[in-house]
């Protein structure tokens, strides 16, 4: 009995010791750490609660949704060009003004239509179908494979088919690039389109109407046109950022955003004012420089 009692006491003591040690092992160790201080970027992409796990039914629904949105935007784009063509034919609006209004409105309305597309990863490619179709129309008519008088009156200065293969073609290529590469979640594409459509488009209208005083280094550009480029490029770009931020696609530090857009507008205005006629079209130089400046200011 004495031996049994001694063995039992030893077993209880051993069990208590093991339990105590295991409890100590389970205590979490607080490790020292360092926090790296880094200023946040001017924007970040919000996470959408509407994102869902892909399923055949969801994918099919998104495809139908985006196909319908593409058809609607195509009809709208075609109607816009035809509408200004009719105004030009009736001599209610000058051809140059019609061309610039199409330049301003078609790109901005196309960009503002992006929210009607689904949240799927393929939505941007459906949206890019719209400028791609217009690109094909420009190439076909520019090569004189067919002749569309309305298209020539709405988009060219002198009514020559080959003009379609320059400025108008570069314009739709920038629309495709912005939709496919940047889409709704990046300010880079939105700002570049704001500068190209709003800034450059309105600068030409204001410069032709009120630009009697020319720039000293470029007699083809005026002070009024350049000032209009800066003001309207800035305002349209801020408006586009606000539009997409209200809809939840962007989260911006607005103080930094306004400063960045002002700097981008200044850079784009200087580039647009340079004597580059016949060398680089404004529909290439303005948006590409704006993209580069926006990328450097917003993403770093």
Output the 3-class SS for 199-224: HHHHHHHHHHHHCCCEECCEEEEEHH
Q: Distance from first CA to last CA of the chain, Å, rounded?
A: 81
Binning pLDDT at 50, 70 and 90, where does residue 51 land?
very low
Q: Which residues contact 181 (CB under 8 A, 6 or more apart)?
A: 189
State residue 52's pLDDT score: 47
Cβ neighbourhood burial of 176 (10 Å; 0-12, 13-18, 19+)? middle
State residue 90's pLDDT score: 87
Has residue 45 got a pLDDT over 70?
no
Listed by start position, the domains of the chain span 56-184, 186-300
In whole angstroms, what is the distance from residue 97 CA to residue 17 CA? 92
In whole angstroms, what is the distance from residue 44 CA to residue 234 CA? 21
How does pLDDT run across 251-291, given as a tens digit for each residue? 999 999 999 999 999 999 999 999 876 678 999 999 999 99
How does pLDDT run across 87-142, given as a tens digit for each residue? 888 888 888 898 899 999 999 999 999 999 999 999 999 999 999 999 999 999 99
Q: Which residues contact 282 (CB under 8 A, 6 or more apart)?
A: 167, 196, 200, 272
Specify whether the backbone of 144 is left (phi greater than 0), alpha (psi in -120 to 50) or beta: left
State residue 139's pLDDT score: 96
Extract the tokens encoding 122: 């393929």
The fraction of the chain above a pLDDT of 70, given in percent, is: 80
State residue 276's pLDDT score: 77
Extract the tokens encoding 84: 């200004």
How does pLDDT run across 10-44, given as a tens digit for each residue? 545 555 544 554 444 444 444 443 333 345 556 66
Task: List the Cα angle 104/110/113 in 5-degree steps.
Answer: 135
Has residue 242 got a pLDDT over 80?
yes
Beta bridge partners of 242: none
Beta bridge partners of 214: 222
Extract the tokens encoding 194: 């704001």
State residue 193's pLDDT score: 97
State residue 88's pLDDT score: 84
How does pLDDT run across 143-166, given as a tens digit for each residue? 989 888 878 877 888 888 999 999
Helix ranges (H only) for the chain are 2-26, 56-89, 95-112, 123-142, 149-155, 167-177, 187-193, 201-210, 223-246, 254-273, 282-298
Has residue 62 got a pLDDT over 80?
yes
Has residue 50 got a pLDDT over 70?
no
How does pLDDT run across 213-241, given as a tens digit for each residue? 999 999 989 999 999 999 999 999 999 99
pTM of the complete model? 0.81
Judged by DSSP in three states, 222 sits in strand
Identify the weakest region by mean pLDDT among 65-69, 188-192, 272-276: 272-276
A 10 A CB-CB count for 219 gives: 9
> What's the DSSP call for residue 164?
G
> What's the DSSP call for residue 92?
S
Question: Measuring CA to CA, how many Å separate 196 from each of 84, 86, 146?
Answer: 20, 25, 28
């Amino acid at each position: 009995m004495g031996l049994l009692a001694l063995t039992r006491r030893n077993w209880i003591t051993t069990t208590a010791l093991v339990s105590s040690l295991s409890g100590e092992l389970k205590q979490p160790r607080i490790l020292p750490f360092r926090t790296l201080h880094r200023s946040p970027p001017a924007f970040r992409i919000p996470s959408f609660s509407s994102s869902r796990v892909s399923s055949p039914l969801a994918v099919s629904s998104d495809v139908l949704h985006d196909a319908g949105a593409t058809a609607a935007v195509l009809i709208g784009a075609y109607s816009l060009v035809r509408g200004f063509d009719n105004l030009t034919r009736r001599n209610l609006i000058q051809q140059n003004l019609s061309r610039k209004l199409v330049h301003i409105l078609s790109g901005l309305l196309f960009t503002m239509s992006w929210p009607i597309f689904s949240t799927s990863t393929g939505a941007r490619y459906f949206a890019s179908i719209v400028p791609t179709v217009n690109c094909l129309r420009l190439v076909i008519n520019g090569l004189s494979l067919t002749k569309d008088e309305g298209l020539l009156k709405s988009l060219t200065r002198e009514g020559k088919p080959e003009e379609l293969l320059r400025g108008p073609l570069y314009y739709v290529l920038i629309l495709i690039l912005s939709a496919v590469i940047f889409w709704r979640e990046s300010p880079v594409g939105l700002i570049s389109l704001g500068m190209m459509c709003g800034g450059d488009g309105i600068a030409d209208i204001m410069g032709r109407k009120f630009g009697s005083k020319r720039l000293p280094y470029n007699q083809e550009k005026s002070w009024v046109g350049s000032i209009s480029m800066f003001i309207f490029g800035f305002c349209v770009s801020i408006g586009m950022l606000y539009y997409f931020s209200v809809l939840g696609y962007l989260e911006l530090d607005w103080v930094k955003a306004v400063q960045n857009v002002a700097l981008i507008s200044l850079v784009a205005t200087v580039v647009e004012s340079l004597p580059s006629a016949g060398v680089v079209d404004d529909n290439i130089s303005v948006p590409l420089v704006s993209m580069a400046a926006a990328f450097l200011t917003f993403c770093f």
